[in-house]
A and B are shown apart, each in its own frame.
Chain A
Amino acid sequence: MSNIIEARGLTVRFGDFTAVNAIDLDIEEGIIFGFLGPNGAGKTTSVKALTTMRKPTSGTISVGGFSTSSNPADVRSMIGVVQQNNALDMDITVRENIYCRASLHKVPKPEIEARMNEICDAVGLTPYMDKLPRNLSGGWKRKTSIVCALMHNPKILFLDEPTAGLDTQSRHMLWDIIRLLNSRGITIFLTTHYMDEAESLCDRVAIISKGAITDIGSPRELCQKRGQFCVEYSSDVGKHEYRYFESHDAAREFYETVADKNAVLRGTHLEDVFLEETGRTNVKALQKALRV
């Protein structure tokens, strides 16, 4: 399958601070790609560069075969972007937000109404069309943003932390929408720091930490690379430890030697990989700071 997004040496600096440091990305058409990283890792900055909203300091980006620096208009015509904070105009209704966004993308007027009705019905937004976004819950605001981003029929949808701050029902509702859109051929690029989300939705993921990609592959590949089985236990000095094993037998053997009665033998999760790549909380420092 051909790559719909390619980045080479993508770097974004703010003064002396390097937010994104020479990352390379190859994203195949038609997949759900997850860009995982803790807060401040460079996810949003990368999305802004990939979507032409921020010029990279160096490196090249190609989206759908078009360069973001020399053909930004062509890139913009084939992408939809749902930003972290929805980017809706809170002073006009949901219907007006969608109508304005479609108009700005020059969707012909007769098509706007038909497309708006079709997408809003599909995502269940129809009863909220005449409400102001500020009066909606986070999940419905996010749905409104998604509908806005879909009005010009993009090939790629960028979702920046689409479920951040949402309740479980809303998260699952959005996951269903993301799967539905992907099944209709839209390539999805989503950033998240929820590993269950990435595990459930993504065909491939990249982990970014301090502006650099530390690992890339399918969630399964990344877990296998780390070791398919994990023993989670407290060491003699009271520190919570994680050990990874290629085989269940090796993990079982180690598990039986561990003194901790609460030790757990389980499969390795993407969250384990993520925490190993991006760093766990320094418990000792935290205890010292809190004087406990």
Chain B
Amino acid sequence: MSLIGDIRLVCLSDLFYLKRNILILLATSLITPVLYLVAFGWGLGSNVTMEYNGQTYSYIAYMIPGTVALTSLTAGFSTISNKLMIQRKFYESFDEMMLCPVSKTSIILGKAVLGILKSILCASIMLALGFFLTDDLLITPMLIITVLISCTVFSLLGVAAGMNVRDLPHMNAFNSFIILPMTFLCGTMFPVDKMPTVMTWVVSALPLTPASSCIRASALGASYPWMSMVLLLLWGVVFFMLGKFGLRQSD
């Protein structure tokens, strides 16, 4: 059977799960970005304007692409990492999958599908909300492609974490020390160059920064930051390899 066929088989149980729990899954993933939007966009940022690509935008227009990037991270990562950890450590249903005749590549990609679908749905809702709140956003083919890539990369991050992180306390630590700081610092709500130089270098290398800058550029019609896209894709490859490494360790 083809790789695509195997991926479909691997993600089947997650799709049944998504179908049964879609409303609660979407609601829980959307609450955080919506709260950020309300608190920072409408609340603190209602009278703020931002300079971006030589033009002045309302803060909400600047922030929405960042929130979409953030949503692609939180929705893709959290669903997959937690579910995979539970399937591996508690249900042990993951072991059964290892006994089935499907390739390791299809297991990694198949396990990412749930996160990709969920984060695409959440990111789409956030974009729809954004278009309702401001006239500055543009739907472009590049925006759609970038959001798809971003959702895929962060779902692969979820697979990598779910496959490699030892237990729930370590997963919580990963969330607290890596994911949460990224959501605030990686250009989602303010430009990374506002931070001290060393911090800017570090933050620029993290995967959410290129995701937000690519989504923002394509949503606000700025010139596309191709180097950022290359960096994001490189992170995707790294996460895929880390997922495979974790799978090999558990084999």
Closest Cβ–Cβ distance, residue A48 to chain B (whole Å): 8
Q: Check A83–B97 contact: CB distance below 8 A.
A: no
Q: Check B12–A90 contact: CB distance below 8 A.
A: no
Q: Check B99–A76 contact: CB distance below 8 A.
A: yes
Closest Cβ–Cβ distance, residue B67 to chain A (whole Å): 28
Q: Which of A92, A101, A105, A106 makes the CB contact (< 8 A) with B16?
A: A92
A45 within 8 A of partner (CB): no
Those of B51-104 within 8 Å (CB) of chain A: 87, 91-93, 95-102
Those of B117-176 within 8 Å (CB) of chain A: none
With A81-B96, A87-B96, A89-B91 known as contacts, the answer to whether A105 contacts B101 (CB < 8 A) is yes
Inter-chain CA distance A100–B15, complex, in Å, is: 10
Residues of A within 8 A of B201 (CB): none
What secondary structure prevails in chain B residues at the interface with A?
A: helix
* Chain B 1-18: CB-based contact to A (< 8 A → 1; otherwise 0): 100000001101100110
With A92-B16, A92-B20, A100-B12 known as contacts, the answer to whether A51 contacts B92 (CB < 8 A) is no
- Residue of chain A at shortest CB distance from B10: A104
Q: Check A100–B92 contact: CB distance below 8 A.
A: no
Residues of A within 8 A of B251 (CB): 55
Closest Cβ–Cβ distance, residue A47 to chain B (whole Å): 11
* Chain A 47-89: CB-based contact to B (< 8 A → 1; otherwise 0): 0000111010000000000000000010011010101010111
Residues of A within 8 A of B10 (CB): 104
- Residue of chain B at shortest CB distance from A134: B91
With A53-B98, A106-B1 known as contacts, the answer to whether A87 contacts B13 (CB < 8 A) is no
Q: Which of A55, A73, A92 makes the CB contact (< 8 A) with B13?
A: A92
Residues of A within 8 A of B9 (CB): 100, 103-104, 106
Q: Check B16–A51 contact: CB distance below 8 A.
A: no
Q: Check A104–B100 contact: CB distance below 8 A.
A: yes
> How many residues in A have their beta carbons less than 8 Å from beta carbons of B?
28
Residues of A within 8 A of B98 (CB): 53
Closest Cβ–Cβ distance, residue A136 to chain B (whole Å): 14
Q: Check B13–A100 contact: CB distance below 8 A.
A: yes
Q: Check A92–B17 contact: CB distance below 8 A.
A: yes
Inter-chain CA distance A103–B98, complex, in Å, is: 14
Those of B1-52 within 8 Å (CB) of chain A: 1, 9-10, 12-13, 16-17, 20-21
With A51-B99, A73-B101, A76-B99 known as contacts, the answer to whether A85 contacts B12 (CB < 8 A) is no
A97 within 8 A of partner (CB): yes
Q: Which of A87, A92, A93, A106 makes the CB contact (< 8 A) with B95?
A: A87
- Residue of chain B at shortest CB distance from A91: B17
With A96-B16, A97-B13, A104-B10 known as contacts, the answer to whether A89 contacts B93 (CB < 8 A) is yes
Q: Check A83–B102 contact: CB distance below 8 A.
A: no
Closest Cβ–Cβ distance, residue B83 to chain A (whole Å): 8
Q: Which of B87, B92, B97, B101 makes the CB contact (< 8 A) with A85?
A: B92
Give A residues with C-beta under 8 Å from B. Answer: 51-53, 55, 73, 76-77, 79, 81, 83, 85, 87-93, 96-97, 99-101, 103-106, 148
Give B residues with C-beta under 8 Å from A. Answer: 1, 9-10, 12-13, 16-17, 20-21, 87, 91-93, 95-102, 251
Residue contacts A-B, CB under 8 angstroms, 7 given: A87-B92, A87-B93, A89-B13, A91-B20, A100-B16, A101-B96, A104-B100
